[in-house]
Structure 1
Amino acid sequence: MEQEVNLPPRERLVLYGETQLHTAELLAILFRSGNKQYDVNQIVTAFMLQFPTLHALRTANLAELQQVNGIGLVRAVELKAMIELGRRIQVSQQTKFGKITSSFMIAQQLMEEMRDLAQEHLLCFYLNTKNEVMGKETIFIGSLNQSIAHPREIFKGAVRHSAARILIAHNHPSGDPKPSEQDYEFTKRVKKCGFLMGIELLDHIVVGHQQYVSLKEEGVI
């Protein structure tokens, strides 16, 4: 047990996850190493004395960061970049599409997004119980006339996002959104797998040139 406690921060993160590390350990990972005058632990200690709270660290400018022995311009810039990235992640919206209110709404966005694609792309939207999009992934990129993907690739993402529902969509580069027999069969397979897993298939939308077909509206789903 004592050996585990004394593990270097990187190894502790791998074993236990980043949430189990103290701030000093996270800083040691970011700083990586010391210099000729100070080892990394001395730099971290001095740094935390200078910035005893995360708020003080977040509001520090480049000059203030460099007041700590062992923190030069390069490390100061890296810290500011890390802080800003963390801020953007904190305030970012979860998805670009927000809440799906209708097949028509999402189809309008997809027709614009996919209009210049030369190959078929199969997309999956992962939704919560309020139809808010928690994730969007390109599952498969196929040839000009076929889109073949196994449902397991779709539901792998659904489990990862803890999705209650999914919506799938793919484009027809020909511009004609009329579903093929393969599209119908694939939709039925996905619906059946979703039923077994307790994850509803909300719709399968086929996108063409300024046209779309909703397989839910067609009664397939």
Structure 2
Amino acid sequence: MQETTLVREVPKSSRPRERLASYGEKALATHELLAILLRTGPKDSNVLQLAMRVLNEFEDLHSLKMASVEELTAINGIGPTKAIEIKACIELGLRLAHSSQLKSGIITSTKAAGGLFMEEMRDLQQEHVIALYLNTKNEIIKKKTIFVGSLNSSVAHPREIFREAVRFAAARIILAHNHPSGNPEPSEADLVFTRRMVECGEMMGIDLLDHFIVGDQKYISLKEYGII
């Protein structure tokens, strides 16, 4: 059966794509989520009605999950392409449900963290700022180079670091930056930046555990330095 996009007949405020954009995916009913996937309805109904038709064919979502391509294409308005897309979406959802956040080791001590940063940063010729994002068990859930350049630069702002912390649902942060000169003694800019990070972390409930400055074959922990 030839399909046509009849969702335009639905008031704009009720269209699932617009509702998701405005209110988020959790605000949508199951048939609205399915309608976004289906995109178009057949000639006799719009896509929301088609989504309801699909759901009414099965007792529950588990039954829909177990449906074959043949069972899906038996529904008026569902052709092979839509049936395959539904099956692919279901399988992707199952794989996502069984996925877990990757861990890249655990920080057990100041020495362990300092050694990790020394290995990575000691030969850098330009100043880099790297953040380790940790969960409540001090497992590394993400390591990211936040920016490249001096901490005197306007780009060295706590919002860049904490934005990523929120994105990764981190409980704690460890920072490091290198001094290409080889001298890890903190500058006044280093100390001011670190204090700002501590203050922002306290406001957001995300702890700054330490800030390392990496030089030539040695590093300084600003926690041990007494700044944190």
Please report the TM-score for the alignment, with normalisation by the length of structure 2.
0.66
Specify the code of the residue in structure 1 equivalent to 2:25.
E
Output aligned runs, 1:44-59, within 5 Å.
Answer: 44-59=51-66
The answer for the alignment partner of 2:7 in structure 1 is none
1:142 corresponds in structure 2 to 148
Distance 1:117 1:64 in 2: 59
Shift in Å, 1:24: 0.9
The separation in 2 between residues aligned to 1:128 and 1:138, in whole angstroms, is 15
1:199 and 1:165 map into 2 onto residues whose CA distance is: 5
For 1:21-170, what aligned pairs fall within 5 Å after superposition? 21-36=28-43, 39-97=46-104, 99-106=106-113, 120-132=127-139, 136=142, 138=144, 140-143=146-149, 146-147=150-151, 148=153, 149-158=156-165, 164-170=171-177
For 2:17, what is the secondary structure of its paired residue?
helix
Q: Percent identity?
A: 50
Runs of 5+ consecutive residues of structure 1 not aligned to the other structure: none
CA distance in 2, matches of 1:75, 1:175: 60
- Alignment correspondent of 2:4: none
SS of 1:96's partner is coil
1:178 and 2:184 aligned: yes
Task: Tell me how far 1:105 sits from its aligned partner.
Answer: 4.1
User: Kindly tell me: are residues 86 and 125 of structure 1, through their superposed partners in 2, closer, same or farther at Cα, counting changes over 3 Å?
Assistant: farther
Query: Considering only CA atoms, is the larger Rg found in Structure 1 or Structure 2?
Result: 2
Find the residue that maps to 1:203 and give its secondary structure. strand
Q: CA deviation at 1:27?
A: 0.6
Which residue identity lines up with residue 130 of structure 2 in the other structure? L
Structure 2 SS opposite 1:87 = helix
Q: TM (normalized to structure 1)?
A: 0.68
Q: Which amino acid aligns with 2:184?
A: K
Query: How far apart are the structure 2 equivalents of 1:54 and 1:105?
Result: 48
- Structure 1 contact 139–154 (Cα < 8 Å) conserved: no
Unpaired runs of 5+ residues, structure 2, are: 1-9
Question: CA shift at 1:168, angstroms?
Answer: 1.7
- State the AA in 1 paired with 2:34: L
